[in-house]
Structure 1
Amino acid sequence: MTVTHQEELDGLKAIGRIVANTMQAMARSMEPGMTTRELDAIGSALLAREGAVSAPQTTYGFPGATCISINEEIAHGIPGRRIIAPGDLVNIDVSASKNGYFADTGATFRVPPTRPKLDRLCRDGRRAMEIGIAQVASGRPLAEIGRAIGRFAATRNYTLIRNLASHGVGRSLHEEPTEIATWPTRGDTRRINRGLVLTVEPFLSTGGLWAADGADGWTLYSEPAAPVVQYEHTVVATDKGAIVVTLPG
């Protein structure tokens, strides 16, 4: 989607605020002993209360309102009977639509007690996303997002999952431009147009390189096996930089 009118930006900010508030409320509610299905039910109720509908459910028939991925699961985890335990690394990904506008956000959370190595990974994962967002502006190369994130990851001795990309969003969950790399690439000559709506969502790891399919047809796992974190915002490109629409409020 390309934003051309204030009412479009307002619509994106409205659904962006809803998904951000939902994700944060789910994170605050998370505690050991809770199942991922129970956590998802909290998110589902919050979306419904705001008049929003789950994007993965309506777009792909995903068996949950939100994606909840724990430890070895790095994305698209199905809410179910898995019990959240102390020390778990939990990724919550919330995407939804309202009044024809879509927004997508995600973050990785730690269940106490935490380990310093994972604390650092989470802190740097969020920083990697922020570095990617800083590259978003009218006329800039799309590939600079991945190049900048790649430089940061290399200086910290991290790896990046290289087959889970950022994407256009706004009027649907996934739209053009597709496959926006959050790792260094060559040959991508696309430029960011004014008003472009896209996600920035690097998957930072201590050794993982690829997302591998699980047996359930949805859940993705790190290959090689290693901790992975993901942080994601939906942003709009302007001449002065990026407007982040997935902010709580």
Structure 2
Amino acid sequence: MTKKTKAEIEAMRKSGLLLWQTHQIVVDMVAPGVTTAAIDAAVDEFIAKNGALALFKGVPGKYPYPAATCISVNEEVVHGIPGDRVLQDGDIVGVDIGLKLDGWCADCAQTLPVGTINEEKQRLIDITEGCLRLAIKEMKPDVKWSKIAKKMAKFARNAGFSVVEDLIGHGIGRDMWERPQVPNYWAISLPDFRLKQGMVLAVEPMINVGVKSIKTLADHWTIVTADKKPSAHFEHTIAITASGAEVMTCGPNGEGWAIP
């Protein structure tokens, strides 16, 4: 794992701020009757117009990922491919975007309501966002990640939800996916690490209403809950400084989802 200098973290903040601005386009567009392809096209255009690279497009797999965004609706956990699906009143939609600006990456995600959602889906959004908020509060130099991961998982499980264990966060910097792996739960079999000043992590809890089990659809990308119940996803790119966590993907005045 690589630690970043103060100057490098400042450069990453520029990428993060552009990504936050990109997400504001999504917030303005999410509504009943809008297609996921329309949202992706607007995001792709904005990223290119600002001299950045949409990092998800072309990610290798059985088929290269075809879009700038991952847009996941209701039971879709992550990696939903934008297309002609029309958002409906009562849906929830997770939007995950990664970009690179001047050689530095940023990655963040949020789950948004479409129109009026039911109480269960609202609780799911609130608890998932709360898991990320909890992590940000706890992230300080010399704290073991296992301590934070245990608290995140307990928070979600105490609310009656389950934690996706097969998908995790990651280090980030010059590359989108760097060491270390950053799980949202804890087990003795997992490698642990201490947070150090200069680390930059993408922390991304994924929480399900029902079972924790997931499966991949025939498109080889879209991951859904095994029981077809809703899932939510929140993520920020976060730097560890001497005083604690600095969110790289918040707004110009520190605003954004899950900010303590």
Same fold (TM over 0.5): yes
Match of 1:247 in 2: 250
SS at match of 2:9: helix
Give 1:4 shift. 3.9
SS at match of 1:217: coil
Q: Pick from 173, 198, 215 the counterpart of residue 201 of structure 2.
A: 198
What percent of counterpart residues are identical? 29
Residue 19 of structure 2 is aligned to residue 19 of structure 1:
yes
Q: TM-score, normalised by structure 2?
A: 0.90
The number of residues matched between the two structures is: 248
SS at match of 2:95: strand
Residue 182 of structure 2 is aligned to residue 149 of structure 1:
no
CA distance in 2, matches of 1:208, 1:64: 28
CA distance in 1, matches of 2:35, 2:226: 26
SS at match of 2:188: coil
Match of 1:229 in 2: 232
Structure 2: stretches of 5+ with no match in the other structure:
253-260
Structure 1: stretches of 5+ with no match in the other structure:
none
SS at match of 1:57: coil
Match of 1:161 in 2: 164
Q: Alpha carbons of 1:210 and 1:145: their partners in 2 closer, same or farther (altered >3 Å)?
A: farther
Residue 91 of structure 2 is aligned to residue 88 of structure 1:
yes
Match of 2:257 in 1: none
- Find runs of 4+ consecutive structure 1 residues off by over 2 angstroms: 1-7, 58-61
SS at match of 2:194: coil
Residue 249 of structure 2 is aligned to residue 215 of structure 1:
no
- For residue 88 of structure 2, what is the amino acid of its counterpart? A
CA distance in 2, matches of 1:125, 1:152: 9
Give 1:177 shift. 0.6
Summarize deviations over 1:49-106 as a string: whole Å, max 9, x none. Answer: 2111111115434200111111121100111111111111101101100111001000
- For residue 29 of structure 1, what is the amino acid of its counterpart? M
CA distance in 1, matches of 2:5, 2:183: 28
CA distance in 2, matches of 1:4, 1:55: 20
CA root-mean-square deviation: 1.5
Match of 1:5 in 2: 5
SS at match of 2:105: strand
Given that 2:58 and 2:67 are in contact with CA atoms closer than 8 Å, whether structure 1 keeps it comes out as: no
Given that 1:3 and 1:197 are in contact with CA atoms closer than 8 Å, whether structure 2 keeps it comes out as: yes
Q: Pick from 116, 119, 123 the counterpart of residue 116 of structure 1.
A: 119
Match of 1:173 in 2: 176
SS at match of 2:138: coil
SS at match of 2:56: helix
Q: TM-score, normalised by structure 1?
A: 0.94
CA distance in 1, matches of 2:2, 2:24: 27
- For residue 55 of structure 1, what is the amino acid of its counterpart? L
Match of 2:42 in 1: 42
Match of 2:188 in 1: 186
Match of 2:256 in 1: none
Give 1:199 shift. 1.0
